[in-house]
Amino acid sequence: MELQPTQNKQVTSNHEKILELKNLTIDFGGLRAVNNVNLTVNRGELRGLIGPNGAGKSTIFKLIMGIHSPTAGQVILKENDITKTSTWQRARLGIGIKMQIPGVFGELTGYENIRIAAQNYVVPNEIDEEINRLAKLVGIEHLLEHEVNNLSHGQQQWLEIAMTLSSKPELLLLDEPVAGMGPEETAFTAEIVQRLNKNGVSIIFIDHDMEFVRKISERVTVLHQGATFAEGSIAEIESNQEVIEIYLGSDVYEGA
């Protein structure tokens, strides 16, 4: 799907499911890292995924992207079972992921980094235009000529978001997009995420920064010990006594 016109979210969401996880389970040896998770995300949603360290959040992202194969259960994308589909094909089908660990090349410029990602998806004579489009989409046109080693942590994260967008994902997975950022970088990241979502990209993000989660989430899913623990609006989640006990009332999430 093109990321161009701003779409009316009432129309795009309309309860059309973009992703369904059905009884999803994965064991690592004796450890059940994800335990019978059922999760539905509608098209156009901006969904937060929160929970204590080790709850299984990143593992769920890797199961959605096909980096791990589940022990049991299914991953359904736009009504199609993609449980056995390769990671590469899932990218072609519309899933993009920005992992926690940065994947940029420090000795290259911003432009060259985006070029590496974009060349998988456009023909050579369109690449310049595409790199500029992606940089503009994220708001980092001014960083294109800089060597990445000279960019701040936040700027490198934004660059990586631009690289992830080269596959034109309909469903974007962001693993801790504001980890290690100060307030200004966090605020700009919130703007980026909201802008992409308004442009029609469905987004699931993981974060421990509750101010960020509160600012951008419409709906939040809480994971605990590999299982879905609670789901609701941010107001419902923040006033849920059990969620406060297992996560929000502890120091675990602050600056984690």
**Residue ranges binding ligand ATP (CB under 6 A):** 28, 31, 33, 51, 53-59
Q: Which is nearer to ligand ATP, 66 or 200 (CB)?
A: 66
**Least distance CB 7 / ligand ATP (angstroms):** 31
CB closer to ligand ATP out of 6 and 69 = 69
Residue whose CB is less far from ligand ATP, 8 or 69 = 69
Minimum CB–partner distance for residue 248 and ligand ATP (Å): 14
CB of 51 or CB of 169, closer to ligand ATP: 51
- What is the amino acid identity at position 123? V
Shortest Cβ 52–ligand ATP spacing (Å): 7
Distance CA 253, CA 203 (A): 21
- Min CB(68)–ligand ATP separation in Å: 7
Instruction: Give me the least distance between CB of 95 and ligand ATP, in Å please.
Output: 17
3-state secondary structure of 233: coil
Closer residue to ligand ATP in complex, CB, 80/250: 250
Q: What is the DSSP string of 14-75?
A: TT-EEEEEEEEEEEETTEEEEEEEEEEEETT-EEEEE-STTSSHHHHHHHHHTSS--SEEEE
Half-sphere exposure of 102 (CA within 13 A, CB side): 20
* 197 and 183 Cβ atoms separated by less than 8 Å: no
Lookup: tokens for 199 = 């442009």
